Chains A and B, each alone.
Chain A
Amino acid sequence: MFGALIIVFREVIEAGLIVGIVMAVTQGVHGSRLVVAAGVAAGMVGASLVAAFAGVIANGLAGVGQEVFNASILLIAVVMLIWHNVWMASHGRELAADVKRVGEAVRTGSRSIVALGVVCAVAVMREGSEVALFMYGLVASGGSTAMELIAGSILGLLAGVGVTAVTYLGLVTIPPRRLFAVTTLLISFLAAGLAAQAVLFLQQAGVVTALEQTAWDTSGILSDTSLFGRVLHTLVGYSDQPSVLQVVVYVAVLAIILVLTKAFGPRRAPSPQARSAPAK
């Protein structure tokens, strides 16, 4: 039972962390809870569909359908996260800092929130499909220990929800002004890590063959399948044996986010005078 708990928990950590971060990022924005809930629900439906059609997906595209599918949905999440950060750079800073304009943030922010809802859906769908397959296997195999393993799996799922709660509650203790900077950083690293994962799948599929050499091997120090390694894997994209191309793409995504947020962000930081100027 404990084994099943760990297997399921390991799969849902990533989704749990991502949903927690998104909840903290969108905290206080009207309608955001609904969007996150809809994203998670859509992700669960998607996970069941992906699990049900796993055979079809695996055999698609000359046998590399599974890899290309995984890479595609990861890249969707990357684009959504980059877009959110760029959007926040161009609108969010002033809005978040000025409580009087929260109403405006709600109206203009809806699109960016939907992007984060998509990120939740994608995260739940990808990890959830493996959990669904694992649990289907338990049910299908039956046997005397099946019920116990299923109970363990359900506890693993609940532990994943716990990760979401801890992440969210931890982040919202950060003062609002600093929360913006923290979540921007978190989302940047999250996007870079997910892009590196997408590269892994494309290399696995043989779609991308450049720079396949292993950049470093730190599996002896911290395995990325251990619980702590898994958390770091999601938060900053830690991998114990990444390929060179994964490292290159990781750095490139961080650079792209930096350049775009600078390009779309405010020309200069608001001066103290502008801040204390009376509102119209």
Chain B
Amino acid sequence: MTFARAISVRDVSLSIFAAGLALGVGALPSSADEPVKVSITLKDHKFSPAEPTAPAGQPIVLEVSNQDGTPAEFESKVFRVEKVIVGGGTVTINLRPLKPGRYRFFDDYHEATTEGFLVVQ
């Protein structure tokens, strides 16, 4: 019962937000392996290139630039990524080293028409 009384809602949310911030700051680049950068642009709800390639076994940084005026949500089940990109915005997504294969990604707001594959070889 003291548990409930001792902690107020505000304390809990503040401390969690602080913890989140602390974790975020701790995440600043510390890579030993040089990651391979792969750039993709999104224009008229189409990925370009639609099938970018990347080497296997190396960390990859996907840089997705949305050149449309409207927001998109870059999503990939295989990478477990779900990230909003505002109109005109760019996001980077860090991927762990991958095995050769075709990895699907799409815009969650236009999944039927906007998809691409990262070809790892």
Interface, chain A (partner B; CB < 8 A): 3, 7, 54-55, 58-69, 71-72, 75-76, 79-80, 83, 86-87, 90-91, 111-112, 114-115, 118, 129-130, 133-134, 136-138, 140-141, 200, 202-209, 212, 219, 225, 240-241, 243, 264
Contact = CB atoms under 8 A, between A and B. Distances in A.
Interface residues of B, number: 45
Interface of B: 1, 3-5, 7, 9, 12-13, 16-17, 19-21, 23-29, 69-73, 77-78, 80-87, 89, 91-94, 96, 108-109, 111-112
At the interface, is chain A mostly helix, strand, loop or mixed? helix
Given A86-B3, A90-B1, A140-B69, A61 B21 contact: yes
B84 A58 contact: yes
Contacts of B24: 60-62, 64-65, 68, 205, 207
Contacts of B82: 204
Contacts of B86: 54-55, 58, 133
Nearest to B84: A54
Given A62-B28, A137-B71, 18 more contacts: A58-B85, A68-B20, A68-B24, A69-B20, A75-B19, A76-B13, A83-B4, A86-B3, A90-B3, A115-B9, A133-B73, A141-B70, A200-B80, A203-B80, A206-B94, A207-B23, A219-B77, A241-B77
A75 B4 contact: no
